[in-house]
DNA sequence: AGTGAAAGTCATACTCT
DNA sequence: AGAGTATGACTTTCACT
């Protein structure tokens, strides 16, 4: 992981469909050398993949919320993430230090769907929940790609 | 935005570097028709772009935290996002309903960097902060791409 | 690790339907 | 809106350094 690798990663974070030809010109390396480095970055897991970034509202997911979750029985074995994995509305699941055990980020279309989701979270994971609704998103998913 | 568009979006969320040729085969459309649809999805803002997904730890960002933020002077004009935009450690900034005004997601390398960042957040935005440290990430960034 | 070249594949623009 | 086609560009592999 040298400066060239960091440069490649930064470029691909900014434009995931950039061609290896352009990438080579950008960083001053031959197409095949860039190709080889990208492959190794993928093999090492530095680059986890490439994805399209979608406007959630365009998919009818206008409501984002954070849900903090705490097991009702603190003595029970903690398999909360496994119990929530099938709920596709749950985009992120973080295990956290603090009063609550997990923070979830969820996206739904309507308040009614949020209500239904909260019920499913509580029964699936046997947890109590505390919900914080997102009003707007000044910025999101900014990726630091280099130092 | 019909089922074909949703199918295209789902495929590109799963693999942002998929060729239009493969995409066409996958959804049963010619390469040029797929190309045309993807262009329109980009123009309409449904597809915001394409990016590489990077392992934060590979970039030396092993510590993730949520920081809830509340203005010290509730009467002051609220330009918190603008004041935080230059802090590259702040990956997400959500305006939320609740006791606090904003939730930030930040990534840093060490506890010392988190401490320094908190100081910069408080002085830059004139806010008090409440920090929740992420211990592990069972899953993250799962994208619902279709219904 | 990087270069350069050769082969196959793909993107892109155009025309026609 | 989609299909088919042609051309230039790109990816990918390989031999060489």
Question: What are the tokens at B46?
Answer: 């449904």
How large is the average pLDDT for residues B11-21? 97
How large is the average pLDDT for residues B41-70? 97
Query: Which residue spans within A7-122 are E strands per DSSP?
Result: 47-54, 63-71, 90-96, 102-108
- Supply the pLDDT for residue B75: 94
- Supply the pLDDT for residue B74: 94
Cβ within 7 Å of nucleic strand C, residues: A 4, 29-33, 36-37, 40; B 19-22, 31-32, 35
CB A144 within 8 A of CB B61: yes
| Structure confidence by residue, pLDDT tens digits, A10-66 | 999 999 999 999 999 999 999 999 999 999 999 999 999 999 999 999 999 999 999
- Supply the pLDDT for residue B144: 73
How large is the average pLDDT for residues A121-125? 98
pTM of the model: 0.95
How large is the average pLDDT for residues B126-130? 98
Percent of chain A with pLDDT over 70: 98
**Is the pLDDT at B145 greater than 70, yes or no?**
no
The region of weakest confidence among A19-23, A47-51, A141-145, B119-123 is A141-145
Using only the alpha carbons of chain B, give its radius of gyration: 20
Identify the CA nearest to A10 among candidates A26, A25, A28. A26
Mean pLDDT value across chain B: 96
Q: Give the end-to-end CA distance of chain A in Å, rounded to a whole number.
A: 13
Measured CA distances, B126 to A139, B113, B117 (Å): 19, 19, 13
- Supply the pLDDT for residue A147: 47
Nearest-CB residue to A144 (from B49, B61, B135): B61
**Is the pLDDT at A118 greater than 60, yes or no?**
yes
How large is the average pLDDT for residues A105-124? 98
**Is the pLDDT at A123 greater than 90, yes or no?**
yes
Binned at pLDDT 50, 70 and 90, residue A143 comes out as: confident
* Angstrom distance, B2 CA to C7 C1': 39
Which of residues 78 through 117 in chain B touch A, CB cutoff 8 A?
Answer: 81, 85, 88-98, 103, 107
Q: Does A129 touch chain B (CB under 8 A)?
A: no
**Is the pLDDT at A146 greater than 70, yes or no?**
no
Measured CA distances, B144 to A57, A58, B43, B61 (Å): 12, 12, 21, 26
Question: What are the tokens at B77?
Answer: 């004009």
DSSP label at residue B86: T
- Supply the pLDDT for residue A144: 73
Rounded CA gap, B44 and B48, in Å? 9
Q: What are phi and psi of B75, to 5 degrees?
A: -85, -15
Identify the CA nearest to B56 among candidates B123, B121, B137, B122. B137
Mean pLDDT value across chain A: 96
């Amino acid at each position: 992981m040298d400066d060239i690798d960091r440069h490649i990663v930064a470029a691909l974070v900014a434009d995931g469909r950039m061609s290896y030809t352009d990438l080579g010109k950008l960083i001053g390396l031959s197409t095949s050398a860039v190709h080889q480095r990208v492959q190794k970055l993928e093999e090492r897991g530095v680059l986890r993949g490439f994805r399209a970034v979608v406007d959630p509202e365009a998919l009818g997911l206008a409501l984002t919320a954070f849900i903090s979750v705490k097991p009702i029985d603190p003595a029970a074995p903690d398999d909360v993430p496994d119990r929530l994995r099938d709920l596709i509305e749950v985009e992120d699941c973080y295990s956290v230090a603090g009063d609550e055990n997990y923070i979830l980020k969820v996206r739904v279309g309507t308040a009614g769907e949020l209500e239904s989701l909260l019920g499913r979270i509580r029964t699936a994971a046997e947890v109590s929940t505390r919900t914080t609704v997102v009003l707007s998103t000044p910025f999101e998913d900014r990726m630091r790609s280099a130092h």
